[in-house]
Amino acid sequence: MLEGRLLLINPWQTYEKKLESEYQSYIPYGLACIAAIGESESFITRIVDCLEDETTTEIGDKVRYGKTPAEVEKIIKEFKPDIVGISATFSMFEKDATEVANMVKKIDSSIIVILGGVTATLPEIYISLLHNNDVYDIMSRGEGEYTFIDLLRNYNKKEKKIDNLSSIKGIAYKENGDIIVTDDRPFIEDLDTLPFPALHLLNLDKVFNNNYYSRWRNNPSNKRTIPIFTSRGCPFNCCFCSVHSQVGYRHRTYSIEYVISLMKKCIFDYGINHFHFEDDNLTLDIERAKRLFKEIAKLNITWDTPNGVRADRIDDEMVQLMIESGLTSLSIAAESGNEQVRMKIIHKNLKTESIINAVRICDKYDLPCIVFLY
């Protein structure tokens, strides 16, 4: 029996005109993961990906990308959701997310609005948001899947509220003017228990035909490209990285069987032929990575590493296996050419000789190599 209606929104994005060249659209993979939870919990679920549209709107010295407020408002009114989840992946777009939340509450104040992503996870941001406005009912902190299971299972349709909030881990909310932060939710131990992302709820054809889609990545031409993760978490402590707030320090992996099954679904159901491996540390477990690449080689696809890999987790055999499995270019996350900066300032814990060695291996096998230096 269907218990309610869940609408998940990837908001439009607003840039200062001087920064507009930085914009690129992307697949809201996290929302697709939450949507899969919604469907598994018998909620009628829909994703509104504002960034699937190429629409641009000038607003003074700013430019907005994606669906217009009028378009989103129409969708909300027609769908009549009980719960709206809004993604805020970067703090610079918090105002866009809050504008969407305001719209939802103006349409129907009884709709429960939940914010997720980094913006909803960092205390200095979510506490301020809860203090300063009443459009957010709940902040979903950290990994969202199990949190959403609890939220949806406690949804009281008759009273239009979520019961037992104080017992649901990993959230923050306001009650009688006070901000309540529940216990942190432990990170998911067995990632294979998660359903595949609900990619069928995205208009992938429209996404791929969007000229802004993934435009600053090293995409091969004539490819249908999608992000994918084989692991979560990173044990290193780079000072600039927000990953630990979302997925923690401990490196947790999906089984190779899970990853290959998901890739096959993407290939056969959606015509995907190029993958962006988005892991924060794809090659941390060197032997696992080699086993994974041997299985990927059977799929006849291509792939790359837009987030970069650690130079000290690369060797000759691995690069050969990467190439055989379809790697088109390897990005190495060096961050700085100065070893003192890497070791003492950003705490990358990466030596110059490791970077040089990794680049030499790529050159040895004629593999295009990109090194991140900021």
Determine the Cα–Cα distance for residues 123 and 93; give it in Å rounded to an integer.
17
CA end-to-end distance (rounded Å), the chain: 53
Q: 109 forms bridges with which residues in the sheet?
A: none
- Average pLDDT (328-345) is 95
- For residue 334, the model assigns a pLDDT of 94
Question: Average pLDDT in the 49-75 region?
Answer: 97
Query: Residue 132 pLDDT > 50, yes or no?
Result: yes
pLDDT, one tens digit per residue, over 5-40 is 999 999 999 999 999 999 999 999 999 999 999 999
What tens digit of pLDDT does each residue of 218-245 get? 888 788 999 999 999 999 999 988 888 8
Distance CA 180, CA 36 (A): 28
For the stretch 147-196, pLDDT in tens is: 999 999 999 999 999 999 999 999 999 999 999 999 999 999 999 999 99
Dist CA 165 CA 328 (whole Å):
47
Q: What pLDDT does residue 2 have?
A: 52
Q: What is the pLDDT of residue 137?
A: 97
Q: Tell me the average pLDDT of the chain.
A: 95
Cβ–Cβ under 8 Å, residues 220 and 328: yes
pLDDT surpasses 90 at 90: no
Mean pLDDT of 111-127: 94
For residue 10, the model assigns a pLDDT of 98
Sequence-distant (6+) residues with CB within 8 A of 19 are: none
> Average pLDDT for residues 78-107, to the nearest whole number?
95
Q: Tokens standing for 153?
A: 């299972």
Q: How far is CA 37 from CA 32, 136, 173, in A?
A: 9, 21, 21
How confident is the model at residue 89, as a pLDDT? 84
Residue 76, SS3?
helix
Q: For each of the domains in the chain, give its residue range(s) and CATH number, in order of start.
A: 4-181 (3.40.50.280), 217-373 (3.20.20.70)
pLDDT at residue number 130: 94
Structure confidence at residue 1 (pLDDT):
44
Span 67-79, pLDDT tens digits: 999 999 999 999 9
- What secondary structure letter does DSSP report for 345? I
Q: What is the mean pLDDT of residues 97-123?
A: 96
Q: Decide: 234 and 249 in contact? Cβ < 8 Å.
A: yes
pLDDT of 63 strictly over 70: yes
Q: Give percent of the chain with pLDDT exceeding 90.
A: 92
pLDDT band with cut points at 50, 70 and 90 for residue 117: very high
More confident residue, 243 or 57: 57
Contact 366, 330 (CB under 8 A): no
Question: In the predicted model, is pLDDT for residue 98 greater than 80?
Answer: yes
Of 76-85, 89-98, 226-235, the least confident: 89-98
Average pLDDT over residues 355-374: 95
Helix (H, G, I), strand (E, B) or coil at 365: coil
Alpha helices, DSSP H, located in 18-122: 29-40, 69-79, 94-107
Look at residue 243 in the predicted model and tell me its pLDDT: 86
